[in-house]
Amino acid sequence: MLPYKTLIPLDRQSATLITTQIANTLIRLIRQGILPANTKLPGSRAMAGLLGVHRKTVITAFDELTAQGWLVQQPARGTFVSSELPDIAPRQLTGTPASAGLATTTGYSFRIREQLTLPVLKNTNMLMFDDGFPDVRLAPTAQLARNYRNVLQRSFQQRLLGYADTNGDLFFRQQLAHYLHDSRGIPASPEHIFTTRGSVMAIYLLAQILLQPNDIVVVGKPNYRSANLIFAERGATLIHLPVDTHGLDIDALEAQCRQQPVRMVFVTPHHHHPTTVTLSAERRIRLLQLAEHYGFVVLEDDYDYDFHYASSPILPLASADAAGMVVYIGSFTKSIAPAFRVGYVVAPPNLIEALGYYRRIIDRQGDTVLEQAIAEMLAEGDIQRHLKKAQKIYQQRRDVFCGLLRDRLGDAVSFTIPDGGMAVWTRFNDRIDLTALAAACHKQGLIIGNGRFYQPDEPVVHHTRLGFASSTPEEMEQGTHIIQKVLATLVP
């Protein structure tokens, strides 16, 4: 007889009824071929004894399985696995019980989009000069947790926990409208605002709605990699135009527009990603004029507006957009912490409406509770106070970091001190193999990018972004010391 006691483990703490556990396990055993067709099961009394349960529990399970067609009860003969079920070949159990029944590869093929592979950052306590992320240790988690709990408690009465407006919570959009007006001169009202899970979702949704396959999208060379992947996946044709110290080359853009109809220009004007340069005031105005003249969409990803050290930030393009050419994207990823996935689109209401249609089929709706918790932080000025504090700290860190790069790494690196943002676009000199450097640093406990992420199509890469905002002066000290040591071994 089969070892039923082992094959049918019962969990008496489980919320699942014992009789259900028995029935479910028996079905699995039949399906896995461990109990082939026509197998005679022990009688209900014997089975009850084996499993240590009441006989009635077993009878209920057998009856249920008989009703479902898995078992056949023959008077005076006993209970059998049904022979009328399609024949299932016995299958050998392999691996641990927990993964026995599930395949390790699919039984069909599918397109793996090589290009979509992006490095996945695991949480780590290693030192890291990242792409330019905020220091989550500074995040105002206490206020956020308090607000979250309060909203949850209130929402109980308000039915806020059900399905909600796909465009985002109204209170959040109201507070955000005030904030955008006060902080960056964007005269938005709630109907101009669409809430997303961050800038990636915003760009993705806009690409689906605004682009058709083969549409021309102009981007900087280099450009924010995730945006390029999204446009390419949509089937758009990417035109890469030069970026100089004043940002995207607008003369080149105008020449391009004369040649072929441009559908969209993607810019990160406040600080170009990855090079950190700022699009000059004059080029901004020309860009808006070209957009109106040639009828293209300006997609403005203002991912780090909040962090500007040298002078007051230049207002976003969206603040001067009266013709409806600019779609503005922002997020709280950098302002609070990446884990809180709230971003937004500012655009004319007819586009906002279309975004809602598409959002419905990729994500239904956002996180109402989190949006309300953040809205309260905006209303109370918590976010503004946090940013004021963080801005000061990051400015100090920028100065410390640039000093360390200069003093420790000398002529191995060259860079321009960034006006703002959270990273330094660093050029390592020609003798340095960045891939080898990054790998060697990793062994010493420091993570840095090897630059390929930013320029995947270049044969040789000398630049990478080194983020300073997420490291304390002590960590920057240790990290640059590692680079210094590794350089000494790589370039004798």
Binders of a second copy in range 38-97 (CB under 8 A): 61, 64, 67-70, 84-86, 88, 91, 96-97
How far apart are alpha carbons 292 and 283 in whole angstroms?
A: 14
Which position among 35, 51, 127, 139 is part of the footprint of a second copy (CB under 8 A)?
139
> Torsion angle of alpha carbons 84, 89, 92, 97, nearest 10°?
-40
Interacting residues with a second copy between 99 and 118 (CB under 8 A): 99-108, 110-113, 116-118
32 binds a second copy (CB under 8 A): yes
Least Å from the CB of residue 413 to a second copy = 25
Q: Which stretch binds a second copy (CB under 8 A): 283-291, 410-418, 440-448, 450-458?
A: 283-291
Distance set, CA 185 to CA 62, 194, 195, 320 (Å):
71, 18, 19, 9
CA 438, CA 424: separation in Å to the nearest integer? 16
Q: Which is nearer to a second copy, 57 or 455 (CB)?
A: 57
- The footprint of a second copy on residues 453-492 (CB under 8 A) is 470
What are the residues whose beta carbons fall under 8 Å from the beta carbon of 116, sequence distance 6 or more?
Answer: 229, 233
Asked if residue 241 lies in contact with residue 252, where contact means CB atoms within 8 angstroms, the answer is: yes
CB of 259 to a second copy, least distance (A): 19
Render 269-311 in DSSP notation, one character per residue. -SS-TTT-PPPPHHHHHHHHHHHHHHT-EEEEE-TTTT-B-SS
Q: Which of residues 222-241 bind a second copy (CB under 8 A)?
A: 226, 229-230, 233
Which residue, 292 or 399, is less far from a second copy as judged by CB? 292
Residue span binding a second copy (CB under 8 A) among the ranges 146-154, 409-417, 432-440, 475-483: 146-154
- Looking at residues 324 to 363 of the shown chain, list those that interact with a second copy (rule: CB under 8 A): 324-325, 337-341, 346-351, 353-354, 356-358, 360-363
Q: Tell the smallest beta-carbon distance from residue 317 to a second copy (Å).
A: 10
Q: How many residues bind a second copy (CB under 8 A)?
A: 155
Burial class of residue 116 in the structure, from the number of CB atoms within 10 Å of its CB (0-12 exposed, 13-18 middle, 19+ buried): exposed
245 touches a second copy by CB under 8 A: no
Q: Residue 287: which of 313, 309, 256, 312 has the closest Cα?
A: 256
- Contacting a second copy within 394-433 (CB under 8 A): none
Q: How far apart are CA 66 and CA 7, in angstroms?
A: 20
Q: Which of 40, 78, 121, 396 binds a second copy (CB under 8 A)?
A: 121
The correct pick among 45, 156, 259, 392 for binding a second copy (CB under 8 A) is 156
Residues 150, 162: Cα–Cα separation, whole Å: 17
Q: Which residues are paired to 426 by β-bridges?
A: 464
* 322 touches a second copy by CB under 8 A: yes
- Contact between 298 and 327 under an 8 Å Cβ cutoff? The reply is yes
Q: Which of 188, 236, 248, 413 binds a second copy (CB under 8 A)?
A: 188
